[in-house]
Structure 1
Amino acid sequence: MDSALVIGGTRFIGRHLVEDLLEHEYDVTIFNRGNSENPFADDDRVAHVEGDRTNDTALESAAMTVDPDAVFDCVAYHPKDVHAATRIFDDCEAYVYVSSGAAYGAEEIPKREDETTLEPCSAEQATDDTFETYGNRKAEGDRAVFAAADNGIRAMAVRPPIVYGPHDHTERLDWWIDRVNRFDRVVVPGDGTNLRHRVFVEDVASALRIVAERGDAGEAYNVGDRRLVTLEEMVDLIAESLETSVDLVHAGPRELAAGDIDLDDYPLYRSYPHVLSTAKLAALGWESTPLEAAMDRSVAAHLESDRDGDDNGPDREAEERVLSILDTL
């Protein structure tokens, strides 16, 4: 394959995907509405077609204009988007849909592509725009990929869990980096052993390309850090990258109540472990970035930005009340 169309391509996963494709000598075109700043505006290696991906006519026009070998769908949030794209790009060599680990409907450890059941999706959920139906809609997008493959289209899905790294507009990891960078004492919810699978954004990008090149039609592939760390270990990695040290203070529900804080108020916390098996993707030759290197790049990007993730977690004043209570115990 020589040419790629990235639906999206300027914000986070899509931005890193474009960079990965360029490194592997693809001719790249991005397709989006142009509402976000285009980091490739001055790069003559990247063409841009403007249009709304939810408009089938615009997508059909892009297909005729670009005629790509591979299509990467980074911003399909409703099943109808996947159905339309697989129909419009049915003659491409590969269509890869960015799904999500949230598509899984069963709490199993680990969650495996060919074993763990997916979320159901009603007709009402399929057209909803709220966060509560995100996993349902992603799961139904996966089923649209499987249906397309049954019709002879080389369509595949990639399922990442929480994605982190440079240009992450969610700022979930930024909240933790900011805490470690500014304070000597950092509150860690629970006992610190909370386990929620995460994945470095550059590894999602390489996974998408590798699945397009080597994946099997009708298959889904989990992508996640090959070595998992607990929430406390993640904070330790941040501290090491910042070349600092912090006092980690564990706080359970009773202690957090002093600050009117719930465990789930903390970004990247999840009460039940969320772990994806990545063996299927690794069998294609994909590798993940060592955690220390991934965190170093994430921290460096944070320090160069104005992000603090402040909207993602408890405010420091509330945490200080918790720390005061703990100091008296």
Structure 2
Amino acid sequence: MATVLIIGGTRFIGRSTVEEFRAAGYDVATFNRGRHDDPFADDDSVTQVTGDRRERDALERAREAVDPDIVVDCVAYFPADVRTATDVFADSTYVYVSSGAAYGVDRTPKREDETPLADCSAEQATTDSAETYGPRKAEGDREVFAAADDGVRAMSVRPTVVYGPHDYTERFAYWVDRVDTDDRVLLPQDGLSLWQHVYVEDVASALRVVAEEGTAGEAYNVGDEHAPTLAEWIDLLAGVCGTTVETVGASARELATEGIEPEDFPLYRRPPHLLSTAKLRGLGWSSTSHARALERTVEEHRENGRTGREHGPDRAAERALIERLTG
């Protein structure tokens, strides 16, 4: 069976990607700095190579140690990372984990071959900030396309916002905690925010499918095939958590009375963000049902103790507004 090298491989997307390729029968190796707990440290079926992915010599040592047929790059955050990796692994299939944030304009839905990517200045390409994340990912995509033009079998996968077990960002954990612990939940703008999500195991399966079936120089969106609004997510979570939740919608003006803005809520987005997944589905990929994905997500959430509370509005302010709005 072929060998895959996963750059990253210990946290969230990388962790699920290791499990996906291992389940498919691949020989799997990970390459990272070893600064996070490694869930595969005691697993003899996964080879661990330690090094800094931003150092070319370290990437070359990983190439010599593993001789990978496939490289999945989960932690390329700067265009230079992609440029170096596609050169070092020019003889391998290279799959870059990009982002739906790479798109430069709001369209519904965003399509790989139609919607323009974000511009990226030289300064943005080397600046690590939330504001430059999308432009940096877009420039990474352009590095993939340039490598493919030079003969490398390089491709890009663009996930929208990812949820599922082992999500250290805690964005989704905020809403799981709200539904799991409160009988009334405050929703900005009546919960009509539409921000497509994608289950982490579906991102991992997309990376494998693209590595096996994708076309060099192409990008593939990945997202849940059904995109619920924020209010619909609450209903779905309540069903999985076995709770009864009353949702209380609040306008921007009403939120402001408690010093809250709609954007203070995790996973709230003013313009819709929806990615077309038709291109990926054409390769045979499909997404997991929400019932199954949320069951596993909630189960792991209850085990890990993450609440996401520090990522949202003050809970007392939320409750005070709920009381005022409901009388």
Counterpart mapping for 1:1-329 below 5 A: 2-92=2-92, 94-328=93-327
Between the aligned partners of 2:289 and 2:270, the Cα distance in structure 1 is: 26
What runs of 5+ residues in structure 2 fail to find an aligned partner? none
- TM-aligned CA deviation for residue 254 of structure 1: 1.4
What letter corresponds to residue 91 of structure 2 in structure 1?
A: D
Given that 2:190 and 2:248 are in contact with CA atoms closer than 8 Å, whether structure 1 keeps it comes out as no
SS at match of 1:191: helix
SS at match of 2:133: helix
SS at match of 2:11: coil
Between the aligned partners of 1:223 and 1:319, the Cα distance in structure 2 is: 33
What letter corresponds to residue 59 of structure 2 in structure 1?
A: L
What letter corresponds to residue 143 of structure 1 in structure 2?
A: R
Between the aligned partners of 2:140 and 2:53, the Cα distance in structure 1 is: 15
What letter corresponds to residue 300 of structure 2 in structure 1?
A: A
Given that 1:6 and 1:18 are in contact with CA atoms closer than 8 Å, whether structure 2 keeps it comes out as yes
TM-score by length of 1: 0.98
Between the aligned partners of 2:58 and 2:130, the Cα distance in structure 1 is: 27
SS at match of 1:16: helix
SS at match of 1:159: strand
Given that 1:156 and 1:217 are in contact with CA atoms closer than 8 Å, whether structure 2 keeps it comes out as yes
SS at match of 2:309: coil
Between the aligned partners of 1:291 and 1:193, the Cα distance in structure 2 is: 18
Measured on the aligned residues, the alpha-carbon RMSD in Å equals: 0.7
Between the aligned partners of 2:84 and 2:304, the Cα distance in structure 1 is: 37
Given that 2:108 and 2:272 are in contact with CA atoms closer than 8 Å, whether structure 1 keeps it comes out as yes
Same amino acid, percent of matched pairs: 59
Moved over 6 A (4+): none
- TM-aligned CA deviation for residue 191 of structure 1: 1.9
- TM-aligned CA deviation for residue 87 of structure 1: 0.2
TM-score by length of 2: 0.99
Given that 1:191 and 1:250 are in contact with CA atoms closer than 8 Å, whether structure 2 keeps it comes out as yes
When the two structures are aligned, how many residues end up with a matched partner?
Answer: 327
